Structure 1
Amino acid sequence: MSEKMEAFKRKLAAKRKAQNEAFLAENAQKETVTVLDNGIQYEVLEEGFGKVSPSVKDWVTVHYHGTLIDGKVFDSSVDRKKTATFKLNNLIQAWQEVVPLMVAGDKWRLVVPPSMGYGDRQEGKIPSNSILIFELELIAIGK
């Protein structure tokens, strides 16, 4: 790779890092936002009706809408109009940390720092070192 290309990539990475830091700092100031020790931020949009939270070994059925900080949608079960079922321990670290705090019926907005998402690797429509924003509704828990 050329020296020019390397310099461009470093400049782009520095710009994204600064944007991420500013976005996370601003969002953390909202009164309704909880910030976990690992940097994940969440906001309860609707409280659920369940009594039990899933463990990372459980299957979960969810509805979610994932965007980047610029509003671009990278994935959405909501847009597909079909819930999704996943084994929780197969998902990004942020979901493994946050979903066990939820109960069925909870709808939360998650702001995921890159270190708790895909980090420095690009994943489909998600550029490297991206903050991920999810509106996430936990529908059901299965074993």
Structure 2
Amino acid sequence: MSVTAVPIAPTPRRVLAMLWGGLALALLAALWLAWAGTSQAVAQTGTTDQFLAWNARQAGVQTTASGLQYKVLQAGEGAKPTDADVALISYKGTLRDGTVFDQNERSPLPVAQVVPGFSEGLKLMQKGGKYRLWIKPELGYGERAAGPIPANSLLVFDVELIEFLPMAVLQQMQMQQQMGGAPGGMPGQR
């Protein structure tokens, strides 16, 4: 029995270069995907600073000089509230892991009497606007626990600014209502 040898033509260098280039590209893509998946996982389970650094690179997220991060979900119109105003808002507050610690529809809040990060976020908004706020512990409750909020917690709020009025106007409306005058209350509230 004899074996017949069939000569195989050599592979052109151009084809070998394309094969090696394709393998290198596939390896780089795999490394990038592994890094991207790992960076999100580290951000989600890492420290607050690691999370905020990762979150700052997400599309639409802006960071103020104080370190408050926010994203405009829906732009509003008109003026912005000040420390002298009472804002009528709808909000949902969660911890970084998604645990809801508070939510309310149509809640009047004095802008100057909430945690600094929430106050700063409200003053960025316009009537009708919807924002997501990421409040680092230093702008929230810091090292003290507050009810269901553990110490040193990053707070995440989805906030809609429905309306706002100066505190003095609201107090005047309340006094008129107590004295039997014209009905008062926040505009749009029934």
Partner of 2:79: 52
Q: Which has the higher contact order (CA 8 A, sep 6+)?
A: 1
* Letter aligned with residue 125 of structure 2: M
TM-score normalized by the length of structure 1? 0.82
Partner residue in 2 for 1:14: none
Distance in structure 2 (CA, Å) of the matches to 1:46 and 1:31? 14
Aligned twin of 2:17:
none
Aligned-residue offset at 1:111: 0.3
Aligned partner of 1:40 in structure 2 is 68
Per-residue CA distance 1:18-46 (angstroms, 9 max, x = gap): 52111111110112000011110000001
CA contact (8 A) 2:118 2:135 kept: no
Under a length normalisation based on structure 2, what TM-score does the superposition of the two structures give? 0.62
Structure 1 portions without partners, runs of 5+: 1-17
Give 2:55's aligned residue: 27
Preserved contact between residue 95 and residue 155 of structure 2 (Cα < 8 Å): yes
Q: Distance in 2 between matches of 1:109 and 1:20?
A: 17
Flag the structure with larger Rg.
2
Structure 1 runs (4+) greater than 4 angstroms displaced = none
CA root-mean-square deviation:
0.9
Q: Which has the higher helix share?
A: 2
Task: Count matched residues.
Answer: 121
Q: Which has the higher strand share?
A: 1
Percent of residue pairs identical: 37
Equivalent of 1:66, from 93, 96, 117? 93
SS at match of 1:141: strand
How far apart, CA to CA, are the structure 1 residues paired with 2:118 and 2:101? 16
What SS is found at the alignment partner of 2:47?
helix
Match of 2:150 among 127, 139, 142: 127
Query: What corresponds to 1:8 in structure 2?
Result: none
Partners of 1:39 and 1:100 in 2: how far apart? 15
